[in-house]
Chain A
Amino acid sequence: GAVVSQHPSRVICKSGTSVKIECRSLDFQATTMFWYRQFPKQSLMLMATSNEGSKATYEQGVEKDKFLINHASLTLSTLTVTSAHPEDSSFYICSPFQSGSDTQYFGPGTRLTVL
């Protein structure tokens, strides 16, 4: 399978700070990047979809000004949680996808805890 890295794997921060999560597809070009969030014992929830060089499309209920997504290259996308609050504590997972493929891969996830 494809190699996807996500950094950091775990972060603990104080309320009000911003956290940037990086996702890299190491051996293929990610024309599309999906960002998911998963709360404990719940299913994956799609937050946004971004295509390289374009603005992300956010799912209903996800604030675009709070969750900033940058997909400037085919191998790197970032998600910044701005002014994080305890309710943002979750498992964030990126999923790069290559156009023409039919397989979706996932990064190892970032566990965010906001105190």
Chain B
Amino acid sequence: RKEVEQDPGPFNVPEGATVAFNCTYSNSASQSFFWYRQDCRKEPKLLMSVYSSGNEDGRFTAQLNRASQYISLLIRDSKLSDSATYLCVVNMGGGSYIPTFGRGTSLIVHP
């Protein structure tokens, strides 16, 4: 089993749709969690951190389920500009930062 798993997609949705991605992780001692966005031929950029209580940033909502060891990202009212690959990152370090990346989920938002 891979340490961090994501459905690669692609998720093909119309503008305005709501779409959700899940990411599962294997290490129950993982400390922190993040969603990054990567556009084609560009570097990843931090989208949001994922907090235990869940957090929201505009149309984006991230949640953490420690019991089931997964994090999720919900995008409401999808825009064409949301088309990208979304990377799940799990810090598996104890006292240090040891990031493990998922393979990414591709989202395509069409008119």
User: Could you tell me the distance in whole angstroms from the C-beta of B55 to the nearest C-beta in chain A?
Assistant: 14
Measured as residues with beta carbon below 8 angstroms from the partner, the interface class of chain B is 10 to 19
Inter-chain contact B49/A103, CB cutoff 8 Å: yes
Q: List chain A residues, Cβ under 8 A from B102.
A: 43
Distance A42 CA – B102 CA, assembled complex (angstroms) = 11
User: Could you tell me the distance in whole angstroms from the C-beta of B31 to the nearest C-beta in chain A?
Assistant: 8
Chain A residues within 8 Å of chain B by Cβ, number: 21
User: Could you tell me the distance in whole angstroms from the C-beta of B75 to the nearest C-beta in chain A?
Assistant: 20
Which of A11-19, A74-82, A106-114 is the interface stretch? A106-114
Contact string against B for A residues 24-46, beta-carbon threshold 8 Å, 1 for contact and 0 otherwise: 00000000101000000011101
Q: List chain A residues, Cβ under 8 A from B44.
A: 44, 93, 106
Taking the complex as formed, is B11 at the interface, i.e. its CB lies under 8 A from any CB of chain A? no
Residues facing B in A91-115 (CB within 8 A) are 91, 93, 97, 99, 101-109, 111
Inter-chain contact A43/B43, CB cutoff 8 Å: no
User: Could you tell me the distance in whole angstroms from the C-beta of B49 to the nearest C-beta in chain A?
Assistant: 7
Inter-chain contact B49/A109, CB cutoff 8 Å: no
Inter-chain contact A102/B97, CB cutoff 8 Å: yes
Inter-chain contact A103/B43, CB cutoff 8 Å: no
Q: Which listed residue (A1, A34, A42, A44) contacts B46, Cβ 8 A?
A: A1
Q: Which listed residue (A46, A101, A102, A107) contacts B43, Cβ 8 A?
A: A107
Contact string against A for B residues 60-102, beta-carbon threshold 8 Å, 1 for contact and 0 otherwise: 0000000000000000000000000001010100000101011
Residues facing A in B30-44 (CB within 8 A) are 32, 34, 41-44
Taking the complex as formed, is B110 at the interface, i.e. its CB lies under 8 A from any CB of chain A? no
Q: Which listed residue (B34, B45, B99) contacts A34, Cβ 8 A?
A: B99
Q: List chain A residues, Cβ under 8 A from B49.
A: 102-103
